């Protein structure tokens, strides 16, 4: 029961973060799931399913703002790179993957805290291919393909509603894609099914709470808290 409650609570928190910021579900929940699931591979499978469901629910409410053209290049690039990343996960041991995850979490947090404003990204096909590829690698390895894609979506959209819509659509279709390959490699197990049942109420509650504060909370403060948390979580992954 303690595991079930922790999965519920982490899903609620991750869902709240993504509803407010537009991304962050995978980043947050993958700092916790590897310790709760029987294997790292099952943790990525559960994270993908939950992110797909969470983003799908949010997308329904902002679908009218979706500009599907912003997915034409970045999604195929994601598909190619995530395929090889998932294949790598299937033959790697949990210890190596957790070390890599810890390093990536720390690097991402440092980047977003100190350098993200200085990195100029334009909505061109070259940036879509590059960031789509990086997103695919991070999604396949860690179940957290949002950060790289968000950098592009923030530059290509002029309104926060448009940004939220295209980001959630991207998370839905990319997680559907990855889930097929994870299932083929045996990542989807009964433990993943039970995890889904524990997490679904938390996702719904997190979305409702996040929607309530979407227009009120100081996004900069929340993002900084998330990034500092990522640094701590990354260190825990390295020494745990």
d(CA 238, CA 102): 5
Q: How far is CA 120 from the centre of its chain?
A: 22
CA angle 147–111–12, rounded 5-degree value: 45
| Mean pLDDT computed over 14-32 | 83
Count of domains forming the chain: 1
d(CA 235, CA 239): 6
98: containing domain: 2-239
The pair of three-digit structure tokens given for residue 199, joined into one six-digit string: 């997490």
pLDDT single digits (tens) 198-214: 999 999 999 999 888 76
Task: Kindly report the pTM of this predicted structure.
Answer: 0.80
Identify the CA nearest to 48 among candidates 177, 137, 152. 177
pLDDT of residue 23: 74
pLDDT single digits (tens) 174-190: 999 999 989 998 999 99
d(CA 214, CA 237): 31
């Amino acid at each position: 029961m303690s595991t079930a409650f922790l999965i519920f609570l982490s899903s609620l928190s991750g869902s709240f973060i993504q509803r407010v910021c537009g991304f962050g579900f995978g980043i947050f929940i993958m700092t916790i799931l590897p310790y709760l699931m029987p294997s790292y591979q099952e943790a990525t499978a559960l994270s993908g399913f939950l992110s797909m469901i969470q983003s799908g629910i949010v997308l329904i409410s902002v679908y009218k703002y979706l500009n599907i053209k912003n997915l034409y290049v970045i999604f195929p690039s994601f598909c190619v790179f995530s395929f090889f990343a998932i294949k790598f996960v299937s033959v790697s041991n949990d210890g190596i993957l957790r070390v890599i995850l810890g390093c990536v979490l720390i690097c991402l947090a440092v980047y977003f805290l100190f350098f993200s404003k200085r990195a100029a990204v334009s909505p061109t096909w070259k940036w879509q291919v590059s960031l789509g590829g990086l997103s695919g690698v991070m999604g396949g390895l860690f179940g957290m393909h949002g950060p790289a894609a968000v950098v592009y979506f923030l530059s290509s959209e002029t309104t926060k509603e448009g940004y939220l819509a295209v980001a959630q659509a991207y998370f839905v279709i990319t997680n559907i894609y990855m889930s097929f390959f994870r299932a083929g490699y045996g990542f989807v197990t009964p433990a993943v099914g039970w995890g889904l049942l524990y997490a679904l109420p938390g996702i719904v509650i997190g979305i409702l709470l996040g929607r309530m504060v979407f227009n009120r909370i100081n996004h900069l403060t929340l993002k900084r808290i998330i990034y500092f948390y990522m640094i701590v979580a990354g260190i825990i992954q390295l020494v745990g």
